[in-house]
A and B are shown apart, each in its own frame.
Chain A
């Protein structure tokens, strides 16, 4: 076996090892933690992106650590969706890591910095593990690792509100994890397997009804909390707005998407769409998610409009976008799924950029109120410009990635003749235009005319600006991603 055949395990193992070593490095020399983590994340990115060729040619890359054959052994199973998510995690995670360097060196106490990088790498590695694993219990373990590290990262500043928000996040998160664990227990008790494909095969043989349905409901509740779907979204605005900005960016861009991926895995890989036994429950639950998602879109957008705090506003907008993603997925058509998945990318870039911009503004001026952002378009043109560009994507205007996503989601709704959802999606766009352009308005069209340019440090500007540029790039060159996504969608629908 050549070295490259181990890439699929290395992409998780390497950052995990770096996370473990980080405190030791920190004990020796604190400044080395940052380059050390960057090296780990970059290596993971390398592994992720070199796997694309294999996945495109074969469809699925399977790997069995230690040679234990599935279904008994743990299996790493990288399909289109998994690799797509992994690529987003890799790219966004690396960029935000670079961004955090200057941010944390000022916002955090010096002795906390090694722990910050440790937790960050742990978060990074466990999210990668979550998306590539083919074993349902393994997925739970990775979910716990990233949840716990994000609780800790939200609270890392130790300020009173941060601690409080983290505790709220922890209570809801841990309860939802228990739900997922119970779901796994139920499923295992009737099916007797933990490998997702294997479970799907056994379920398809039939004979499982009530227990499997209960497990499905438990999974749904558990992952819905992680994804911050209405009405279990209440932890998100606090946690996302109070966390240090790079962490907010990662939480919003990546961590809540793990909940979405969990729902995808459960509803499409484990309980396959064609599965006859509990089809009624399956369809009813997806309908329920679709409605919750649609309500999320409208309600969260309205909540975002009435906020006065910049970061809370961005956090509410994340809830709305989770709504878009899930709505697209719940349409159960290839276009809708493609749209949902594309919005994962579009939102990761757009929202990542938003939080990074918020971070730069906090770093330079310690401003959080929207009305206090006046005139920043002149003093910080790149930062404010990045925000303006990213807001195109968040609103879903062409030519940005958000537009492509919304286009496909609408197309999916149309395929199923769900006109009400179409109207709600468009209404959501209008509402998001209000809250995004309000900020753009304060940045560019109100305030002083002094043209003294006072930008943030380059390591913070570059990630934010490149996210903004990437939203445009993926809005114009969408064909780079769309074929893989529609294969992903078709693979998911086929089960």
Chain B
């Protein structure tokens, strides 16, 4: 008798568990098993092309082999490198878009294990010889602008933030100067931010940039300068 009850109870349990869906079934996907990293290098100078985190250039990629692959996005670090340590092995179409350099054509690459993807390109603009100074009333950066693209330079900008990812999206203070023309690479420009925007004794990150009149172009900045505000 007891055995019968046990059988019935087990049956009941089994039916409950299985009757209304596939409960408890684990998904059958593997974890991400590959890494993709690289940088964007100025093809003439061999230096990295500095980037911006949130509002900067973007790398778009999609994995081949799906009916409707989603476009995925990857952002650059400030100095011009990028890295995604959670990629799935496979074939991808990849390209840099909406950036501050003449982007190469889309490429198809195979991502497996540690995969490096190097972008070699010409920046629209290079920021040269940026030097920072505390004038007592303002923090000023003097710099030269060397344009590679032939379109007009629209604006110059200076931004500052406590965050080393300083850029358009990270700034507690900014100044801009409208140019709307071709710049002479020997001209020294100076932009400044009021000292009262900063707290004395703290270290801030400053950078200057210029933007070209090309659709969807992003600022070409220098690498952020760490600078302590003294009395």
Is the pairing of A and B real? no
Using CB atoms and an 8 Å cutoff, list the residues of chain A in contact with chain B. none
